[in-house]
Amino acid sequence: MDASPLQGQVALVTGGSRGIGLAIARRLAEMGARVAICGRNQVALKEASQALEQAGYEVLAITADISSAAAAQALAMRTQQSLGDIAILVNNAGVGVFGPAHELSEEDWDRVMDTNLKGVFLMTRAVAPQMIRRGTGHIVNISSLAGKNTFAGGGVYCASKWGLMGLTACMGEDLRGHGIRVSAVCPGSVETEFAPHVGKDPARMLQPSDVAHAVAMLVTQAPQSFISEVQMRPTRKP
């Protein structure tokens, strides 16, 4: 098999400064892609960029809040100007606020929805014209099994991910005629700092590299295939 199947392609990973996003960025770089990552934490973003560069990969790190339309557009434009047309967009940036929905604030709701749902809409809208012009592209939205299931204290987070699943499916229909594949990856519990995993054994949880593997699979599909959704669970319940 080709060791560098993404050679020459440009990939943009939002929320790429740590956890799942950083693992995805590293995997795509290993496959030959020129990678751009973004995040809101400048310190974490710099550390991630340095780690990738020390590993020998080309990376463009951009501080951006993708819940802003202007910032999303600027991020897409800067990536294109610096690296070239974006062939792969991974909408990974996400936040979680947990607790009974009736006890959370309007600010909590807005924070989650603006990043997990609105941010995906804004980034896809900013990047899609490049892909449409080229007649090809991959958009991978990192969702969650919380977009398929419910749990106590997950009302706002689940709402954002259920919404993301609907958005992903509709965008897939809108863009497939242009040669663009839109997919959702829905992992279960992943061992990151994203959310508390009280009582779970980290050794049995999914790892960020597992999610990165799924993304790598999606962006190397044969031209005639279209995998719209991937659900991921650990082999043994944590």
Domain ranges for the chain, please list them: 10-232
Q: Under the phi-then-psi rule, with left for phi > 0, alpha for psi from -120 to 50, and beta for the rest, what region is 18?
A: beta
Residues 84-121: pLDDT tens digits?
999 999 999 999 999 999 999 999 999 999 999 999 99
Q: Residue 1: what pLDDT?
A: 60
- Of the ranges 69-73, 120-124, 186-190, which one carries the lowest mean pLDDT score? 186-190
Q: How far is residue 184's CA from residue 167's CA, in Å, rounded to a whole number?
A: 10
- Residues serving a catalytic function are 157
Determine the 3-state secondary structure of 89 from DSSP: strand
Q: Quote the pTM value.
A: 0.95
Q: How far is residue 230's CA from residue 173's CA, in Å, rounded to a whole number?
A: 17
Residues 28-38: pLDDT tens digits?
999 999 999 99
Mean pLDDT over 229-235 rounds to: 95
Q: How far is residue 88's CA from residue 62's CA, in Å, rounded to a whole number?
A: 16
Question: Residue 154 CB: number of other CB atoms within 10 A?
Answer: 21
CATH architecture group of domain 10-232 = 3-Layer(aba) Sandwich (3.40)
